[in-house]
């Protein structure tokens, strides 16, 4: 086996205290998706959207990685082949755990983006509507987050990795949001074995050949030990 591609979602950060989206009491039970995770919502009420992400940036800053994040670091360090980590998460817990290569397909709380010139820079802890872009000076700063209707990052690179993955693992994601929800089918079509890690079988659960049910902080360390043979 030469290449393992791993997709993570909000479930891997749940045990670090960060909320998921669609679980009971999750972020989408507290906020309307259209209000806080679409470009139209941002146009209508930028204060609300900035507050939503300022709050989550503050929560993420104090959160600590858990045993699930750390198991993937061990895999990246000790696996003889290539480990590719794609995350839908906008927190930085994979990096805090020590992961060297992380693709944030839905952006990152740590980033700011200019809606006028697409310049990117590190986000301050508190962003406000009308903050100026340091490059073009337009008052057009927004969080560097991929909202519904926008193109996720690194899609060409991701599909290249899915084309020659030997093993595809999906961790803590409900499989409701595309294009990430389609990665399992893409990987299978290209001959990869597929495994899902979740508390319960997800919406896309039937598409996976293997399933490890339980908290990722327990199932991932066990899986990594199996893969590494120790």
Residues in 148-207 at the binding interface with ligand BJW, rule: CB under 6 A: 148-152, 155, 172-174, 176-179, 197-200, 202
Q: Does 14 bind ligand BJW (CB under 6 A)?
A: yes
224 binds ligand BJW (CB under 6 A): no
Catalytic residue selected from 31, 106, 119, 161: 106
118: left (phi over 0), alpha (psi -120 to 50) or beta: left
Bridge partners (DSSP) listed for residue 112: 121, 143
User: Exposed e or buried b for every residue in 3-17, given b needs 16+ CB within 10 A?
Assistant: bbbbbbbbbbbbbbe
Residue with the two structure tokens 């839905």 = 106
Q: Which two tokens stand for residue 165?
A: 């993955």
String of contacts with ligand BJW for each residue 204-223, x by CB under 6 A:
-----------xx-------
197 forms beta bridges with 171, 212
Out of 11, 65, 110, 207, point to the residue binding ligand BJW (CB under 6 A). Answer: 11
**Does residue number 67 form part of the binding site for ligand BJW (CB under 6 A)?**
no
Q: Which is nearer to ligand BJW, 87 or 230 (CB)?
A: 87
What b/e string do you get for 169-194 counting C-beta neighbours within 10 Å, with b at 16 or more?
bbbbbbbebeebbebbebbbeeebbb
Q: Known catalytic residue: 69?
A: no
Interface residue list for ligand BJW (CB under 6 A): 9-11, 14-15, 20-23, 26, 37, 88, 90, 106, 145-152, 155, 172-174, 176-179, 197-200, 202, 215-216
Active site residues per annotation:
106
């Amino acid at each position: 086996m030469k290449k393992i591609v791993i997709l993570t979602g909000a479930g891997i950060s749940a045990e670090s205290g960060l909320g998921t989206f669609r679980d009971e009491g999750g972020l989408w039970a507290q906020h309307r998706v259209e209000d806080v995770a679409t470009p139209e919502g941002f146009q209508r009420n930028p204060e609300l959207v900035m507050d939503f992400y300022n709050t989550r940036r503050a929560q993420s800053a104090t959160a600590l990685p858990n045993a699930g994040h750390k198991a993937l670091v061990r895999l990246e360090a000790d696996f003889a082949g290539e480990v590719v980590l794609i995350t839908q998460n906008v927190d930085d817990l994979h990096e805090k755990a020590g992961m060297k290569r992380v693709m944030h397909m839905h952006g990152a709380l740590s980033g700011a983006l200019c809606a006028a010139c697409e310049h990117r820079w590190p986000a301050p802890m508190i962003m406000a509507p009308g903050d100026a872009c340091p490059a073009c000076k337009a008052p057009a700063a927004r969080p560097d987050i991929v909202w519904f209707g926008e193109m996720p990052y690194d899609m060409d690179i991701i599909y290249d990795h899915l084309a020659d993955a030997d093993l595809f693992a999906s961790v803590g994601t409900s499989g409701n949001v595309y294009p990430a929800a389609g990665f399992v089918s893409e990987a299978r079509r290209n001959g990869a074995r597929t495994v899902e890690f979740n508390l319960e079988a997800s919406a896309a659960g039937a598409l996976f050949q293997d399933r490890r049910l339980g908290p990722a902080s327990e199932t991932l360390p066990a899986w990594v030990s199996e893969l590494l043979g120790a």
